[in-house]
Chain A
Amino acid sequence: MECKDIRKLLSPFVDNELGAHDAFTVAEHLEVCAPCQREMEALRRFDERLRVAGQASIEGVAEVRANILALFSPWTWARRWRGVGAAAAVLLFLVVGRQLFSAPADPEATAFGEALITEMQLNTAQPFSLAWLDPHSTQDVLRQEGLEDLPNLGPAGFHLEGARICYPLSRVFVQLVYRSRHEEVSLFVSRRWTRPLSGVSKREGFTIVPLGLRAVFLVSKEPLENFADVRELAEEEVSALST
């Protein structure tokens, strides 16, 4: 190889990115070519200077780190939770599929359902808008509310992924998020809610399915799998409404 060919290989050579054959060829050439050897050394020296310049500490990293950590601090929910106090009722909302829908609920239920949908959408659109609780904090808050068995209410094939405190229509709820491979289900729990919803309703691609006096399932746009139990309950609800 001539010098002009070798010099095109110096860049990957100093980066240790040449294959063994080319690296050997370049090394052999450098042994006998002083100008190319000087250029390789200059390249290495400049890379080092650029590396040092680039990696020099920049100001304000601690503040940025604190801001990011604060977005998902478990204490964020705790401060909000203390201000509201204990809740009064339990509602269960699950996210399932598009198969279920029926007559609209009353205005308050409609507004409340839309607030829940907003909470669902926040899960993915703004995951830090409300803090996720770590497992220990989740158990604490559920125990505090006498709801420690609720995480086991998730449908078969789903695992409890996380929990957070949310405020649909200014009411305090614990949102338990269950996930299977392709689906997400949220169970909204509150002891503050005293008025049962009635009727299955569908809005914005989500379907809210109230189950009995204390449980409401929220149905998502995603396809249903492994949800026979939930679907059966919802169908019973629809059947009861139609009669």
Chain B
Amino acid sequence: MRSRVSFEREAIPHLEALLRTAVRISGDRARAEDAVQETYLRAWRSFRTYQPDTNCRAWLFRILLNVLKKAAGKKRRDPLAEAEEVEGSNKVIPLFPDVEGGNRQDILAAVSHLTPEFRDVLWLVVVEGFPYKETAQMLDIPMGTVMSRLYRARRELRRWLTAPAVAAKERTPGHGM
């Protein structure tokens, strides 16, 4: 039987993580709250199929990402192709120089400037701590793509935090990003 009590026990503890992720991805608090509520509605509808021993958190995140993706609607650009355009030469440059500047807001602002595909992977792996495999399942992409996007997301973030003005200029239309 569909149990409200077990649903609350399993699903509600993940609400804060879902909400902060929704805020970060949607960029809007009201839309994030709507998305989280829709996530719980969908989760409740399919809760009868949920296996108690499976990862409820990953399951909820997958629903949330689908909700957010549907809400976003428009087709996204190919971030990997774009990243390749600006990656440049093979010379050894710091992947992630020791960026000590910037407070929490700076960091989160930099994250929000990432291409959505890069941002989503970075957030799920680094902030929410999901393994690559679960992240790949949630985003419905191969694990190799998770690895590739994560590498580039970290690198892009470094660009924003070391020279945000330059990065902003490069990301405007006509600058290859």
With an 8 A cutoff between CB atoms, is A194 at the interface?
no
Question: For chain A residues 44-82, which have a beta carbon within 8 Å of chain B?
Answer: 45-47, 49-58, 60-61, 64-65, 67-69, 71-72, 74
A128 lies within 8 A of B44 (CB)? yes
Residues of B contacting A124 with CB < 8 Å? Answer: 45
Whole-angstrom CA separation of A159 from B3 in the bound complex:
14
- In whole Å, how far is A158's beta carbon from the nearest beta carbon of chain B? 12
Considering only residues 22-59 of chain A, those with a C-beta below 8 Å from chain B are 38-39, 41-43, 45-47, 49-58
User: Is there a chain A Cβ closer than 8 Å to B8's Cβ?
Assistant: yes
Residues of B72-112 contacting chain A, CB below 8 A: 90-92, 94-99, 104, 107-108, 111
Q: CB within 8 A of A74: which of B2, B4, B15, B29?
A: B4
Q: Which of A2, A17, A49 interacts with B131 by CB under 8 Å?
A: A17
Q: When the two chains form their complex, are residues A39 and B3 in contact, meaning their CB atoms are under 8 A apart?
A: no
Query: Which residues from chain A contact B24 at a C-beta distance below 8 Å?
Result: 54
Q: How far is the CA of A83 from the CA of B4 in the complex (A)?
A: 24
In Å, the complex CA distance between A38 and B97 comes to: 9
A236 to chain B, nearest CB (A): 31
Asked if A160 lies at the interface with its beta carbon under 8 angstroms from chain B, I say: yes
Identify the closest chain B residue to A131 (Cβ).
B4
- Contact (Cβ within 8 A) B15 A72: no
The reply to whether the CB of A108 lies closer than 8 angstroms to some CB of chain B is no
Which stretch (A7-15, A93-101, A225-233) binds chain B? Answer: A7-15
Q: Would B44 and A64 count as touching, CB distance under 8 A?
A: no
Determine which of A10, A68, A74 lies in contact with B12 in the assembled complex, contact meaning CB atoms within 8 Å. A68
Q: Which of B8-49 contact A (CB under 8 A)?
A: 8, 12, 15-16, 19-20, 23-24, 29, 33, 36-37, 40-41, 44-45, 48
B36 touches A64 (CB 8 A): yes
The secondary structure that dominates the B interface is helix
The contact string, 1 if C-beta is below 8 Å from chain A, for chain B 121-138, is 011011111011000000
Contact between A7 and B19, CB atoms less than 8 A apart = no
Q: Is the CB of A128 within 8 A of B126?
A: no
**1/0 contact trace for B119-159 toward A, CB 8 Å?**
00011011111011000000000000001001100100100
Q: Are A162 and B95 closer than 8 Å at their CB atoms?
A: no
Which residues of A are found within 8 Å of B45, using beta-carbon distances? 124, 127
Asked whether A134 is an interface residue with its Cβ less than 8 Å from the other chain, the reply is: yes
Q: In the complex, what's the smallest C-beta–C-beta distance from B61 to chain A, in angstroms?
A: 14
**Cα–Cα distance between A12 and B94 once the two chains are bound (Å):** 16
- Decide if B20 touches A55 in the complex (CB within 8 Å): yes
A213 on the B face (CB < 8 A): no
Given contacts A49-B107, A162-B1, are A11 and B16 in contact (CB under 8 A)? no
B96 and A69 within 8 A (CB): no
Q: How far is the CA of A10 from the CA of B94 in the complex (A)?
A: 11
B154 touches A132 (CB 8 A): no
Please, how many angstroms separate the alpha-carbon atoms of A41 and B29 in the complex? 34
In the complex, are the beta carbons of B132 and A7 less than 8 A apart? no
- With A64-B36, A127-B44 as given contacts, are A134 and B108 in contact (CB-CB < 8 Å)? no
| Contact, CB under 8 Å: A68 / B37 | yes
Most buried by A among B44, B94, B96, B97: B96
Q: Which residues in A have some Cβ–Cβ distance to B below 8 Å?
A: 2-4, 7-8, 10-12, 15, 17, 38-39, 41-43, 45-47, 49-58, 60-61, 64-65, 67-69, 71-72, 74, 124, 126-128, 132, 134-135, 159-162, 179
In the complex, 9 of the A-B residue pairs with CB atoms within 8 angstroms, ordered by the A residue number, are A7-B95, A10-B96, A43-B154, A46-B154, A54-B128, A72-B4, A124-B45, A128-B44, A134-B5
Beyond A11-B154, A43-B154, A60-B29, 10 additional pairs, beta carbon < 8 A: A11-B151, A39-B97, A46-B98, A46-B154, A54-B24, A58-B16, A61-B16, A72-B44, A161-B1, A162-B2
